């Protein structure tokens, strides 16, 4: 079929298999151009199909020659209907990994469920024996609790007061004010239940109980802090409470891994265009200004550059550098004073008229469509392409 982008609200509901393959290939090429990492040999990535998780899987495989198992929740293709982009990304990743002689298998299902944890544990037991790194990179708006069956929904709301600020509809370029009403107590509980650390802990407990974690095992989950500007809706909002919980969970997990000298870390990453961040109000405007400033200073990074730096310059050093709260920081460039001061100044000036000049709206849009395999040079989007792509190592 001929596949063109089709957007609904903030998301794109089609994706292009060859474009997704190109996106993956670009990331593989980047990793191959860098010096190798002496790190993990067997890696499980939970949330492995897009964004930071995909970059983590690519870095593990092509940067350290690791065997990888990826867990994700993606829509397979049907005749006349495209798969979700994470499906095509994974198909392309596995094809390249297998060509390079690397073990790569995948599990598509709800990572929050006991069944998927069990299936993953069995696969590790059968094929790999033990694993030495688990990357936890889930971003989900909902979680069905495995014990109670209750379905929780996360929200992106401020706590205490209504928050009013500018935002951009990046599809139209319109900058306007939005007001987000303060959350309820229940919103906080729900968001922490979905995006906090409970499920990460359950994963590690399960794998530990089954004897599947190697000595000196490491696990990393991803967090975000960001500037004052977005604090009410991010770090001091409902999602921030979930991130606080995730960060606290790292210490609990480490406590339970003493006998194998295992350690859990949270890495604070940079703001980037992903399917998840596009859905957060205010953040797209911040990102489009941030990109402009970081590109001007030659400091811009995408997911793959971030994760390579995490592995190469943080995770596998003898002494892992952390902040006063014990977190790994790869948001150091985003948070630099000169960058933040410039973004804060541009923020005041941002209007529908000025944004295309002072912000990187084009860059934002381009990256957004790239997530779904669109806007890549060298791909003929008028040409018929086969949507029925399968993932070679899908279990």
Q: By CB under 6 A, name the binding residues for ligand NAI.
A: 47-53, 71-74, 86, 110-112, 137-140, 222-224, 269, 271-272, 274-277
Residue 111 binding: pick among ligand NAI, Na ion, none (C-beta 5-8 Å cut-off by kind): ligand NAI
Q: Work out whether 86 is an interface residue with Na ion (CB under 5 A).
A: no
Q: Which of 119, 135, 164 is nearest to 307 (CA)?
A: 135
Residue 71 binding: pick among Na ion, ligand NAI, none (C-beta 5-8 Å cut-off by kind): ligand NAI
Q: What is the DSSP string of 20-49?
A: HHHHHHHHHHHHHTSPP----SEEEEET-S
**Angle between the N-to-C axes of helices 85-99 and 17-32, in degrees from 0 to 180, rounded to the nearest 10:** 50
Q: Work out whether 53 is an interface residue with Na ion (CB under 5 A).
A: yes
Structure tokens at 377: 């040079």
Structure tokens at 43: 């890696």
The structure tokens 């670009």 sit at 26
Structure tokens at 121: 């544990």
Shortest distance, position 274 Cβ to Na ion, whole Å: 7
CB closer to ligand NAI out of 120 and 165: 120
Residue 276 binding: pick among Na ion, ligand NAI, none (C-beta 5-8 Å cut-off by kind): ligand NAI
224 is in an annotated binding site: yes
Burial-class residue 109 by CB neighbours within 10 Å (0-12, 13-18, 19+).
Answer: middle
- In the shown chain, the binding pattern of residues 107 to 146 toward Na ion, with x for contact by CB under 5 A and - for none, equals ------------------------------x---------
C-alpha 86, offset from chain centre: 11
Q: Are strands 151-153 and 7-8 parallel, antiparallel or unpaired?
A: unpaired
> 106 — alpha (psi -120 to 50), left (phi > 0) or beta?
beta
Cα–Cα dist 262/67, whole Å: 19
Shortest distance, position 49 Cβ to Na ion, whole Å: 7
Structure tokens at 360: 């990187």
Q: Work out whether 70 is an interface residue with Na ion (CB under 5 A).
A: no
49 is in an annotated binding site: yes
191 is in an annotated binding site: no
Residue 74 binding: pick among Na ion, ligand NAI, none (C-beta 5-8 Å cut-off by kind): ligand NAI
Cα–Cα dist 29/17, whole Å: 18
> 216 — alpha (psi -120 to 50), left (phi > 0) or beta?
left
Q: Are 57 and 93 in contact (CB under 8 A)?
A: yes
Is 234 designated active site? yes
Cα–Cα dist 149/114, whole Å: 11
Ranges assigned E (strand) in 249-386: 263-268, 328-329
CB closer to ligand NAI out of 51 and 232: 51
Structure tokens at 19: 């474009």
Q: Work out whether 51 is an interface residue with Na ion (CB under 5 A).
A: yes
Shortest distance, position 19 Cβ to ligand NAI, whole Å: 16
Active-site residue, selected from the candidate residues 222, 234, 286, 364: 234
CB closer to ligand NAI out of 81 and 261: 81
73 is in an annotated binding site: yes
50 is in an annotated binding site: yes
Shortest distance, position 224 Cβ to ligand NAI, whole Å: 3
52 is in an annotated binding site: yes
Shortest distance, position 10 Cβ to Na ion, whole Å: 17
CB closer to ligand NAI out of 206 and 260: 206
Shortest distance, position 187 Cβ to ligand NAI, whole Å: 17
Q: Which residues contact 60 (CB under 8 A, 6 or more apart)?
A: 39, 40, 43, 45, 66, 68, 133, 135, 311
CB closer to Na ion out of 39 and 47: 47
CB closer to Na ion out of 190 and 274: 274
Q: Annotated catalytic sites, by residue?
A: 234
Residues flagged as binding site: 47-52, 73-74, 110-111, 138-139, 224, 243, 272-274
Q: Which residues are near Na ion by CB under 5 A?
A: 47, 51-53, 137
Annotated binding site for substrate: 224
Please state the residue numbers annotated as binding site for NAD(+): 47-52, 73-74, 110-111, 138-139, 243, 272-274
């Amino acid at each position: 079929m001929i596949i063109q982008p089709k957007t609904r609200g903030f998301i794109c509901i089609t994706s292009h298999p060859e474009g997704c393959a190109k996106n993956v290939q670009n990331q593989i090429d980047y990793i191959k151009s860098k010096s190798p990492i002496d790190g993990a040999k067997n890696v499980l990535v939970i949330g492995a199909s897009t964004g930071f998780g995909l970059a983590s899987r690519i870095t593990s495989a092509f940067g350290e020659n690791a065997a990888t198992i990826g867990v994700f929740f993606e829509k397979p293709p049907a005749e006349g209907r495209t798969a979700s982009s994470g499906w095509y990304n994974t198909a392309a990743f596995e094809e390249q990994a297998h060509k390079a002689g690397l073990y790569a298998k995948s599990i598509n299902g709800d990572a929050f469920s006991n069944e998927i944890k069990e299936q993953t544990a069995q696969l590790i037991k059968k094929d790999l024996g033990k694993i030495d790194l688990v990357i936890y990179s889930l971003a989900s708006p909902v979680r069905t609790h495995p014990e109670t069956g209750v379905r929780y929904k996360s929200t992106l709301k401020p706590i205490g007061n209504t928050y009013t600020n500018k935002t951009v509809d990046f599809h139209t370029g319109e900058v306007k004010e939005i007001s987000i009403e303060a959350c309820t107590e229940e919103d906080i509980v729900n968001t922490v239940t979905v995006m906090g650390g409970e499920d990460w802990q359950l994963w590690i407990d399960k794998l530990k109980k089954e004897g599947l974690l190697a000595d000196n095992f490491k696990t990393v989950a991803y967090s975000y802090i960001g500037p004052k500007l977005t604090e009410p809706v991010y770090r001091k909002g409902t999602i921030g409470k979930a991130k606080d919980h995730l960060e606290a969970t790292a210490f609990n997990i480490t406590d339970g891994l003493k006998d194998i000298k295992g350690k859990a870390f949270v890495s604070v990453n940079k703001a980037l265009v992903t399917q998840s961040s596009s859905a957060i109000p205010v953040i797209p405007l911040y990102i489009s200004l941030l990109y402009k400033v970081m590109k001007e200073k030659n400091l811009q990074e995408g997911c793959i550059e971030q994760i390579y730096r995490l592995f190469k310059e943080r995770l596998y050093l003898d002494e892992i550098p952390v902040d006063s709260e014990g977190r790994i920081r790869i948001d150091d460039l985003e948070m630099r004073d000169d960058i933040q001061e410039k973004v804060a100044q541009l923020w005041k000036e941002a209007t529908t008229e000025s944004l295309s000049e002072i912000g990187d709206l084009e860059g934002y849009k381009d990256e957004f469509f790239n997530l779904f395999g669109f806007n890549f040079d060298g791909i003929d989007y008028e040409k018929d392409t086969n949507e029925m792509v399968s993932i070679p190592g899908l279990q």
